Chains A and B, each alone.
Chain A
Amino acid sequence: MTTTPSWLYYLFGVLMLVVAAYSVVLLVSSAATRRPLGWDVDISHLFMGSSMAGMFVTKWAFGAGTVWELIFSVLLVWFLVRSIQSMHRWGLHLSHFLIHAVMSFTMLLMYRFPVSAPMGAMAMSARGSRLDPGLSFVLAFVLFASAIFTLASPNKGASRHGTHAPAYAMEGTGSGAATSHSAGPSTSVMSIETLLATPRLEDASHVVMCVAMGFLLILML
């Protein structure tokens, strides 16, 4: 018997779809303004939001589990490589790519080991085994810590493009314009970007993702 109110799962499901939709907006905005900052994070949030919405609300699930596993495996490798590159370039530090690697790893685990959430996980591959609760707890705690420290960070937007963003931007655009809004795309795209692509919203989407993922991990205990 499930006793958790269904509205709670719907709430998280809707939040996941909102984050996924927001990621699409950021991707379009990045493409239109030809500023590549954070596109990989946007893609990962798009996939994570879409798949987790299906974990919270079964009827919203789509896609085969193996496809999702493949996607999150690729994302995991991608973010690990980016982390190593970042450390190679800037020295030993906690790159923001690491937390996205952790999130990709968590998503992978949630497909490998079905969540016991009453309403979710139906789209996942059911293998009958259980993820070690210790690992679930550690991952959940890391995600919650990431949520809290991201919100408190003075470097707003760092969850999407890291603390070395200006330097990366200079390299990416060749104009050093990542922190300015004079790249020359159409006015409408610029206005949308000004409205939505704010560092605080970017961090908020990361925080929502972390809390939702942590909740699913707690449900796996």
Chain B
Amino acid sequence: MSITGTRVSGRLVASACPAGTGSPNALPRPPRDLQRTFQLALATVWLLDAVLQLQPFMFRPGSNGFSGMLHGLASGNPSWIAHSIAWNASIVDHHPVSTNAPFALIQFLIGFGIVSTRSLKPALALSIVWSLAVWWFGEGLGRVFSGGATPFGGGPGAVLFYALLAILLWPRTGSDQPFVAARAVGVKVAKTIWVAVWGLLALLSVVGSGRSPRALHDLVAGMNSAEPGWLTRIDVSSESFLLHHGTSAAIVLAVICLMVAAGVFLPPRFARTTLVLAIVVFAVIWVAVQNFGGILAGGATDSNAGPLVIVLALTYWPLTDDRGTASDVASDPALVVRGNRPS
């Protein structure tokens, strides 16, 4: 499948053209808007989360249910935050159906709301508000205050990436150049966000329990119950590796995050290399450490940060070649994607 560029209504969008579909009888394929594609990817993840919210244990009161999981997130936080989390968990515990069903409904509304261009903005706005609420009450602020917010475990909170993507994919007319995230907030702001995110990830890799081999080992060990055999075998290797090289792994991850942070300022060829590095590293972490967010064990509320970090990285994928620069884009927002630049 090749990616080409097409000028539509004064702006340029990429189109995915399956090879060999040049038949005159085929319907003309509309050009693909990359921002729209990423919005729909985000909607798919929200739909997955909505259905995960309908799992039986979500409706179960007590320590083995959703409320028990929420209650467990209070520990380690400052007392007033812990109290608010415990208060919310207690409401869910007393009314598991009448709280969990609306929780699922909100996520369905976000997912399907993003699909329609008319409801896109309200859905993205709702997703930001909902993500922040979930980060507080459902993720215990990502364990930032308890010192356990390592990126290996999804820190500073997977749900924050939903909010971030909602901001970076906010619909706005214009070019996807030099990368998709710049369309919503502008190149400078997008790059600032990128540096802040990856700088934070680098920092969280080496502070608190993030650099503790035992804590990293326990992070994986706590995930692998009820996982399928092949994933358990991967976990055993991960646990052993992190137990013996946990600190080194944390430092290497921090260095990688800093390289990725700097990558956005590099020429497109090198920027792509750093993005591929980020995608590969977080894909490995998602599988070998985060265990797909615990989904395969049947007790997860989301897929954790791995796939969202990958989508985030893709929204920064340079769409110009090495000759293209930000100033080119400013003066000519209709640059053609890869190999189709106007001569």
Contact string, B299-323, partner A, CB cutoff 8 A, digits 1/0? 0000000000000000000000000
Contact string, A112-155, partner B, CB cutoff 8 A, digits 1/0? 00000010000000000000111011001100110111011011
B44 at the interface (CB under 8 A from A): yes
Contacts A92-B18, A140-B48; is A163 near B59 (CB within 8 Å)? no
Q: Which of B25, B26, B47, B114 has the most chain A CB within a 10 Å cutoff?
A: B47
Q: Which residue of A lies closest to B112 (CB)?
A: A151
Q: Which residue of A lies closest to B57 (CB)?
A: A3
Q: Are B297 and A214 in contact (CB under 8 A)?
A: no
The DSSP consensus for interface residues of chain B is: helix
Number of A-B contacts (CB under 8 A): 115
Partner of B29 from the list A144, A163, A215 (CB cut-off 8 Å) is: A163
Q: Are B26 and A163 in contact (CB under 8 A)?
A: yes
Whole-angstrom CA separation of A149 from B292 in the bound complex: 23
Q: Are A92 and B292 in contact (CB under 8 A)?
A: no
CB distance from A192 to the nearest CB of B (A): 27
Whole-angstrom CA separation of A144 from B298 in the bound complex: 18
Which of the four size classes fits the interface of chain B? 35 or more
Chain B residues lying within 8 Å of A155, measured Cβ to Cβ, are 27
CB distance from A89 to the nearest CB of B (A): 8
Partner of A211 from the list B20, B47, B116 (CB cut-off 8 Å) is: B47
Chain B residues lying within 8 Å of A90, measured Cβ to Cβ, are 20-21, 23, 26
B3 at the interface (CB under 8 A from A): no
Chain B residues lying within 8 Å of A166, measured Cβ to Cβ, are 25, 27
Chain A residues lying within 8 Å of B297, measured Cβ to Cβ, are 133, 221
B223 at the interface (CB under 8 A from A): no
Contacts A133-B296, A166-B27; is A151 near B20 (CB within 8 Å)? no
B76 at the interface (CB under 8 A from A): no
Q: Are A221 and B296 in contact (CB under 8 A)?
A: yes
Q: Are A167 and B20 in contact (CB under 8 A)?
A: no
Chain B residues lying within 8 Å of A174, measured Cβ to Cβ, are none
Q: Are B55 and A91 in contact (CB under 8 A)?
A: no
**How many chain A residues have a CB neighbour from B under 8 Å?**
40
Q: Which residue of B lies closest to A217 (CB)?
A: B51
A218 at the interface (CB under 8 A from B): yes
Whole-angstrom CA separation of A167 from B21 in the bound complex: 13
A4 at the interface (CB under 8 A from B): yes
Q: Are B115 and A148 in contact (CB under 8 A)?
A: yes
Which residues 62-85 in B have Cβ within 8 Å of A in the complex? 65
B22 at the interface (CB under 8 A from A): yes
A59 at the interface (CB under 8 A from B): no
Which residues 84-111 in B have Cβ within 8 Å of A in the complex? 96-97, 101, 111
Whole-angstrom CA separation of A5 from B53 in the bound complex: 13
B342 at the interface (CB under 8 A from A): no
Contact string, B136-166, partner A, CB cutoff 8 A, digits 1/0? 0000000000000000000000000000000
B215 at the interface (CB under 8 A from A): no
Q: Are A163 and B298 in contact (CB under 8 A)?
A: no
Q: What are 24 A-B pairs with beta-carbon distances under 8 A? A: A3-B57, A3-B60, A3-B61, A3-B96, A4-B54, A133-B295, A133-B296, A134-B230, A134-B296, A137-B292, A137-B296, A141-B48, A147-B47, A148-B114, A148-B115, A151-B116, A154-B30, A211-B47, A211-B51, A215-B51, A218-B52, A219-B55, A221-B295, A221-B297
Closest 5 CB pairs of A and B: A91-B20, A133-B296, A167-B25, A93-B18, A221-B298
A interface residues (Cβ-Cβ under 8 A, vs B): 1-5, 8, 89-94, 118, 132-134, 136-137, 140-141, 144-145, 147-149, 151-152, 154-155, 163-167, 211, 214-215, 218-219, 221
New contact pairs (12) apart from A4-B55, A91-B20, A218-B51, CB-CB < 8 Å:
A8-B54, A89-B23, A91-B22, A133-B296, A134-B230, A134-B292, A136-B296, A149-B40, A164-B27, A215-B51, A221-B295, A221-B296
